[in-house]
Structures are given as structure tokens and as C-alpha cells.
């Protein structure tokens, strides 16, 4: 490729909404261009990276015996109604209707469609095992799209689905995928960790996330440096000796104001008569995984000031929470096994930002807690800039230094970016959709399934979080938009330089090297700045002076300075 024919568009400054380094650098390097919240154009330079990620994933999926197909982005709602996810999935699922008023969804994942294929096509145990995969556009109406491609609303995922005759075979298929994922992430050249994740209602240990280690990661991961124990925070909390965090959290006691903890006390503290003006609204929130299974339930009790009719107050949006529903205090007490009256009118597990359709939207410095001595917290601000839930680390039940569940040391905590997820599903979808095959005895049996995702467009962002410096991106060779850039100095002035550059370019092309010749005629400073920002790993600079000595200058993106290399030896440097 020649730069004059390609499309290069770099920026000096990152847009103001870019918070993390990968987002900033992807924008500045012209890899992506924003079209809307969480929706991006993949520009030519960025698309080359994405295509390389796809190629590696495709190669390893094929090697592992999976077969590629493509399922529609727009899917009939009927299938999603069969599993109940059309209703259950919450606002992340984009529902649309056509001119006839028929409902559809924009696929956030494809269990329903692939199960529909299987129930029609896989009739006999002889056709099993089978693993179908696709590399396809997804849409999830994320509560908080951010960080560029890291958490987009439209993004590309590789999703695979295995079909097996029994549990043992399904677990074997799962292990084949988990192995393939290790090969894939090894090939990307990234530091990652496979961590145990919650497998929801199915239970068992057959759910792992592949987390690229990065300080900006949205997930907390817990591991034991002395062993191979690793889990995401949710799983680690579920396994902790004290179990999932109780409500109200012990941590609340830390900031409690002694003696002001009953309904009446709190009302008094606020200067409000209890009976008439203090009313409570209880929200129970379910954190679901991608299969709509509840993995965590949290409770939020909100105090509303004034004479609001509870039935009139609608909570439109609770930022920080993906799914929520209203519940009564009694229901919540029952759920947590609290004695009746334990929960007070206001309680809070973690601060969240809340937006309601009345002036109660902004609530400052409230006192929240439970109806038991010393269990409330003060200074809670609703509707203000609050710390991200994860920043409230001391509310966790698992902290660094806790003993590892395997008894082999103490736990450490680091942050990660979930780039892949393997998940044993059992017969959840096949039973719901009556997808069966005939076994050896001619009896119909539901398929044993697994599903396996990789965030194709999230991966380049994760790679940048791990590989960059103050000048820009440093791509691992495997996914660089170009492996080598040839930078001729004064190509327009010197026929020797021009010829040498064209010759090297042609040779590299002939050897199958992914090379770009920068023939734009830019000054060296501007040219180098562009390629350092874009992050091409190998650079060959050709100038009059060095040519006279029969050498060119080679510099790896991580090298502090260039080294002189004989023209004939350059190819060896980029392999
Ligand atoms: P997250 O916890 O980050 O929301 P998830 O658990 O909902 O991800 P999965 O349903 O497991 O995601 O999907 C498989 C993979 O798709 C994830 O491991 C991730 O790499 C990628 N992915 C999920 N959501 C997004 C998104 N909004 N933008 C980009 N990639 C995503
Ligand atoms: Mg998600
Ligand atoms: Mg996740
Ligand atoms: Mg996941």
C-alpha cells in the first residue's frame, strides 16, 4: 500500500469526550470516527486492525473445528419470545418494528437464532458435536457507552455456539474452546488472565472470562500470585467465606452516626415529621448476565421528601443500574431474611446517580441506612457526581490480602478488560425452544449447549491500553494496521532515494510483508510523528546520506533510536 493512495487522517488533540488512552489514541490516529453515542465508523486504518483480529480468530476457530455462518442482525421477536428474553432482557435489547407492526430485535447475541438452526438441521446424534460461529455486528443499548470501541453500542463480536449430545461431550466442547481462546490471546501478544466467572443459574465452574490486564479496565479481578486461582470480583465474592456482601454492608457502619438510625431518628435528623412527609420507595435491582440470569440482587431504598404520592413517582432511569424493578420493603426483608422492620425508610448499599421526573432528582447530603442502630451512612448525594460503583472498593467483601480459597496464599486485585467469555449453557435454550435430536435409541433429547464470545472491536482498544507511550500506539505485530512503514526522506528531490524506497517496497510486498510506503512527501518530523502515533511497529528510513554507505535506518517502535542496517538485511528485522 502507498500512503498517497491510502487514507491517513491524524489529529494533534483528542476530542474532549475521550477519557481513556485507547479512545484518545484511536481518535487521534484516525482509526475510528464517531457517528453517535457508542457508534463509530471504522476508518480504513482502524479496519485493517479489525480485519487482522478477525483473521486470527477465524483461523483458530476453524482449527478448533468450529464452522462459520452468518446470522441476521435483525431477528424476529418470536424467537426471542420463545426463550422469554424479549421481555426479560431489559433496555439493552434494541427492539424495533417493521411497517406491518411486527416486532424484531437487533441482535445483541444469537442463542435463539442458532438454536432455531440446530432444531431444524441437527436431527441425529450422528451430526454431533457441532459448533457454529459468526463474526457479526451486535447492538446493545449500553447504559453507558464509553471509551470508544471499548464499550460501544454497535460493535463486532465473534460468537460461537456448541451443540452436544450430553453433558460430558458439552464440557469437552467447552474445553476445546477455552484452549482455542488461549491460543488466540497468545497470538495477539497481550498480557491476559483467564478468570472464573459466574455461570448464573446453571452453576458449576464452566464460565471463564478472558481479561486483558489494564489499569483502566472496568472489571476487578481477583487472583492469587502463588497459584492459578483467578476469578472476577462477582465470582470471588460469591465464593468468599462470608458469602456475597450482606445488606446492609458492614462498611456502612464505618460512617454511621451513632444513635441516629431508626426511621424516627432519621426523620428527626432531617427535621421531617415521619408519618406524613417521609415516604420510602424501594428498588430491588437484579444484575443479570448476558443470558438474562440473575447473578446478583441489590436493594436500594430511597427516601423521597415531601407529599409525593408513591404511585405517581416514576423512576425513568437509574444510572449505574441496568435492570431494576420496584419491590416492597417486606419483600426485600423477606429476600434477605431480615426480621420485619429491619429496613428503614432509607437505605443505601452504594451511592448511585438517580434521575427521577420530579424535583427530587437532586438530593444532597442525605442520611441513609437501615432501621438498626449504627447502620446508616451520612452525606449521601443523589444526582450529583458520584464515584463509580467500583471506586467504592471498601464496600467489597473480598479485598487484597484475604486468604485465597485454594489455601495457597493471599489474594491480589487488579483491573481487567473482558475481551472474551466462554460459557457452558446446558439445556437452557434447547429446552425453552424445544430443540432436540434423536439419540441412539431414537429418543428425542435436548441439545447440551455452550456459547463463546470474543469482542473483536474491543480487542484493539484493550491492546492499546496495554501498549502505548507518550507518542502514541505501539501495536503488537499480529494486529498492526501495517507491519512496516518505509519512510523515504526527500523522495521528490533524490532519484536514488526514490528508487531504493520503491525497490525495498516491491521486495517486501513480494515476500508477503504488510508494508506501507509513505510517498506523501511529508517532512521527516511530521511523517515520523504520524507513524509513531499510528503505532506501526517497524520503520525503515531511507535517506541520501545513509544510502551512500549502503545502509538504511531501522527502528522498532519501542527502540529509543534507529540502527543502521544493510539494505539487504532489512527484511530479517521485520520478521
Ligand atoms: P461486559 O461485561 O463488558 O458488558 P458482557 O459480559 O456483557 O461484557 P458478553 O455477553 O460476554 O459481554 O459478550 C462477549 C464479548 O463481547 C465480551 O467478552 C466483550 O469482549 C464483548 N463486548 C460485550 N459488550 C461489548 C460492548 N458494549 N462493546 C464492545 N465489546 C463488547
Ligand atoms: Mg454487558
Ligand atoms: Mg461481563
Ligand atoms: Mg461476559
Establish how many alpha carbons lie within 13 A of residue 9's alpha carbon, considering only the half-sphere containing its beta carbon.
12
- pLDDT of 536: 98
- pLDDT of 52: 98
Cα radius of gyration rounded to whole Å, the chain: 28
DSSP 296-344: EEEEEEEEEESS--TTT--EEEEET-S--EE--HHHHHHHHTPPTT-S-
Nearest CA to ligand 1 atom 19: 455
What's the CA gap between 440 and 437, in Å, rounded? 10
CB-ligand 1 contact for 248 (6 Å cutoff) = no
Question: What is the three-state SS of 305-318?
Answer: ECCCCCCCCCEEEE
> Is pLDDT at 433 greater than 70 in this prediction?
yes
In the chain, the percentage of residues whose pLDDT exceeds 90 is 63
Lowest-confidence region among 11-20, 106-115, 384-393, 454-463: 384-393
Q: Cis omega before residue 129 (within 30°)?
A: yes
CB-ligand 1 contact for 322 (6 Å cutoff) = no
Distances (CA, A) of 385 to 126, 318, 429: 58, 14, 41
In our burial notation (b when 16+ CB lie closer than 10 A, e otherwise), range 480-518 reads bbbbbbbbbbebeebeebbebbbebbeebeeeebbbbbb
Query: Percentages helix, strand, coil for the chain, rounded to the nearest 5?
Result: 30, 30, 40
CB-ligand 1 contact for 26 (6 Å cutoff) = no
What ipTM was estimated for this complex?
0.99
Ligand 3 centroid from CA 418, angstroms: 6
CB-ligand 1 contact for 147 (6 Å cutoff) = no
Position with higher pLDDT, 242 vs 379: 242
Nearest CA to ligand 1 atom 11: 421
CB-ligand 1 contact for 421 (6 Å cutoff) = yes
Lowest-confidence region among 232-236, 308-312, 552-556, 558-562: 308-312
Question: What is the three-state SS of 110-147?
Answer: CHHHHHHHHHHHCCEHHHCCEEEEEEEEEECCCCCCEC
Lowest-confidence region among 269-278, 451-460, 489-498, 566-575: 269-278
- pLDDT of 296: 53
What's the CA gap between 1 and 452, in Å, rounded? 35
- The band of 492, judged by pLDDT with boundaries at 50, 70 and 90, is confident
- pLDDT of 340: 57
Position with higher pLDDT, 295 vs 535: 535
CB 223 within 8 A of CB 230: yes
What's the CA gap between 370 and 473, in Å, rounded? 49
> Is pLDDT at 103 greater than 50 in this prediction?
yes
CB 73 within 8 A of CB 201: no
Q: Among candidates 35, 12, 54, which has minimal Cα distance to 458?
A: 54
Q: Is 39 helix (H, G, I), strand (E, B) or coil?
A: strand
What's the CA gap between 490 and 493, in Å, rounded? 5
- The band of 142, judged by pLDDT with boundaries at 50, 70 and 90, is confident
Ligand 2 centroid from CA 482, angstroms: 31
Mean pLDDT, residues 233-242 taken together? 78
CB-ligand 1 contact for 152 (6 Å cutoff) = yes
Distances (CA, A) of 546 to 464, 494, 550: 33, 13, 6
E strands within 336-403? 353-356, 363-369, 376-382
- The band of 109, judged by pLDDT with boundaries at 50, 70 and 90, is very high
- pLDDT of 81: 97
What's the CA gap between 572 and 570, in Å, rounded? 5
User: What number does the ligand 1 atom closest to the CA of 420 have?
Assistant: 18
Nearest CA to ligand 1 atom 1: 418
Lowest-confidence region among 33-47, 70-84, 132-146, 458-472: 132-146
Mean pLDDT, residues 299-308 taken together? 45
Mean pLDDT, residues 224-242 taken together? 85
- The band of 19, judged by pLDDT with boundaries at 50, 70 and 90, is confident
Q: Which helix (H) or strand (E) holds 76?
A: strand 74-76
Q: Among candidates 321, 314, 317, 347, which has minimal Cα distance to 332?
A: 347
Q: Which residues pair with 208 in a beta bridge?
A: 196, 422
CB-ligand 1 contact for 40 (6 Å cutoff) = no
- The band of 273, judged by pLDDT with boundaries at 50, 70 and 90, is very low
Mean pLDDT, residues 161-183 taken together? 98
CB-ligand 1 contact for 142 (6 Å cutoff) = yes
Burial classification of residue 169, based on how many CB atoms lie within 10 Å of its CB (0-12 exposed, 13-18 middle, 19 or more buried): middle
pLDDT tens-digit map of 46-63 = 999 999 999 999 999 999
Q: Is 35 helix (H, G, I), strand (E, B) or coil?
A: strand
**Mean pLDDT over each residue of the chain, to the nearest integer:** 81
Q: Is 24 helix (H, G, I), strand (E, B) or coil?
A: helix
Mean pLDDT, residues 459-481 taken together? 98
Sign of the torsion formed by the C-alpha atoms of 555, 556, 561 and 563 = negative
Position with higher pLDDT, 473 vs 273: 473
Lowest-confidence region among 132-146, 222-236, 285-299, 476-490: 285-299
pTM comes to 0.81
Q: Which residues pair with 33 in a beta bridge?
A: 41
- pLDDT of 179: 98
Position with higher pLDDT, 299 vs 25: 25
Q: For the chain, how long is the longest CA-to-CA vector?
A: 93
What's the CA gap between 368 and 265, in Å, rounded? 11
> Is pLDDT at 334 greater than 90 in this prediction?
no
pLDDT tens-digit map of 499-537 = 999 999 999 999 999 999 999 999 999 999 999 999 999
Amino acid at each position: 500500500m502507498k500512503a498517497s493512495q491510502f487514507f491517513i487522517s491524524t489529529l494533534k488533540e483528542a476530542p474532549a469526550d475521550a477519557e481513556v488512552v485507547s479512545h484518545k489514541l484511536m481518535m487521534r490516529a484516525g482509526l475510528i470516527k464517531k457517528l453517535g453515542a457508542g457508534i463509530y465508523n471504522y476508518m480504513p486504518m482502524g479496519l485493517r486492525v479489525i480485519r487482522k483480529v478477525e483473521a486470527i480468530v477465524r483461523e483458530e476457530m476453524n482449527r478448533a473445528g468450529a464452522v462459520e455462518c452468518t446470522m441476521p442482525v435483525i431477528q424476529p421477536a418470536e424467537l426471542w419470545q420463545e426463550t422469554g428474553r424479549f421481555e426479560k432482557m431489559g433496555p439493552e435489547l434494541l427492539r424495533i418494528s417493521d411497517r406491518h407492526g411486527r416486532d424484531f430485535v437487533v441482535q445483541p447475541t444469537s442463542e435463539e437464532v442458532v438454536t432455531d438452526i440446530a432444531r431444524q438441521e441437527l436431527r441425529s446424534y450422528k451430526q454431533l458435536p457441532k459448533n457454529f460461529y459468526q463474526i457479526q455486528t451486535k447492538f446493545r443499548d449500553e447504559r453507558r457507552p464509553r471509551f470508544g470501541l471499548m464499550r460501544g453500542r454497535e460493535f463486532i463480536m465473534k460468537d460461537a455456539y456448541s451443540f452436544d449430545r450430553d453433558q460430558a461431550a458439552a464440557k469437552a466442547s467447552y474445553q476445546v474452546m477455552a484452549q482455542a481462546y488461549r491460543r488466540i490471546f497468545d497470538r495477539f501478544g497481550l498480557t491476559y488472565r483467564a478468570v472464573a466467572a459466574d455461570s448464573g443459574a446453571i452453576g458449576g465452574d464452566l464460565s471463564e472470562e478472558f481479561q486483558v490486564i489494564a489499569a483502566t479496565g472496568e472489571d476487578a479481578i481477583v487472583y492469587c500470585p502463588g497459584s492459578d486461582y483467578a476469578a472476577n470480583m462477582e465470582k470471588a465474592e460469591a465464593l468468599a467465606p462470608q458469602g456475597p456482601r450482606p445488606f446492609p454492608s458492614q462498611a456502612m457502619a464505618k460512617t454511621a452516626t451513632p444513635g441516629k438510625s431508626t426511621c424516627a431518628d432519621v426523620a428527626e435528623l432531617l427535621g421531617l415529621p415521619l408519618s406524613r412527609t417521609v415516604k420510602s420507595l424501594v428498588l430491588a435491582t437484579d444484575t443479570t448476565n448476558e443470558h438474562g440470569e440473575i447473578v446478583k440482587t441489590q436493594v436500594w431504598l430511597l427516601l423521597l421528601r415531601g407529599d409525593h404520592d408513591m404511585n405517581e413517582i416514576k423512576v425513568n432511569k437509574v444510572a449505574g443500574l441496568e435492570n431494576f424493578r420496584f419491590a416492597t420493603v417486606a419483600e426485600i426483608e423477606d429476600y434477605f431474611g431480615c426480621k420485619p422492620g429491619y429496613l428503614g425508610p432509607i437505605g443505601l448499599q452504594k451511592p448511585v446517580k438517580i434521575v427521577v421526573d420530579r424535583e427530587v432528582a437532586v438530593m444532597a447530603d442525605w442520611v441513609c441506612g437501615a432501621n438498626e442502630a449504627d447502620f446508616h451512612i451520612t452525606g449521601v448525594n443523589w444526582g450529583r457526581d458520584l464515584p463509580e460503583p467500583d471506586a467504592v472498593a471498601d464496600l467489597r467483601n473480598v479485598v487484597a490480602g484475604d486468604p485465597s480459597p485454594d489455601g495457597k496464599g493471599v489474594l491480589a486485585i487488579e483491573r481487567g478488560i473482558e475481551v472474551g467469555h466462554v460459557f457452558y449453557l446446558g439445556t437452557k435454550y434447547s429446552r425453552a425452544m424445544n430443540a432436540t435430536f434423536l439419540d441412539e435409541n431414537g429418543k428425542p433429547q435436548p441439545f447440551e449447549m455452550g456459547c463463546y464470545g470474543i469482542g473483536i472491536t474491543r480487542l484493539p482498544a484493550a491492546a492499546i491500553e496495554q501498549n502505548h507511550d507518550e507518542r502514541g500506539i505501539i501495536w503488537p505485530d499480529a494486529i498492526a494496521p501495517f507491519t512496516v512503514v518505509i519512510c523515504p526522506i526527500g523522495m521528490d528531490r533524490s532519484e536514488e532515494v526514490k528508487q531504493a524506497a520503491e525497490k525495498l517496497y516491491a521486495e517486501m510486498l513480494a515476500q508477503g510483508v504488510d508494508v506501507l510506503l509513505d510517498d506523501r512527501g511529508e517532512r521527516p518530523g511530521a511523517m515520523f510523528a504520524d507513524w509513531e502515533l499510528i503505532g506501526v511497529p517497524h520503520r525503515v528510513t531511507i535517506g541520501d546520506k545513509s544510502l551512500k554507505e549502503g545502509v538504511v535506518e531501522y527502528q522498532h517502535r519501542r527502540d529509543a533510536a534507529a540502527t543502521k542496517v544493510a539494505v539487504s538485511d532489512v527484511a530479517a528485522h521485520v520478521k
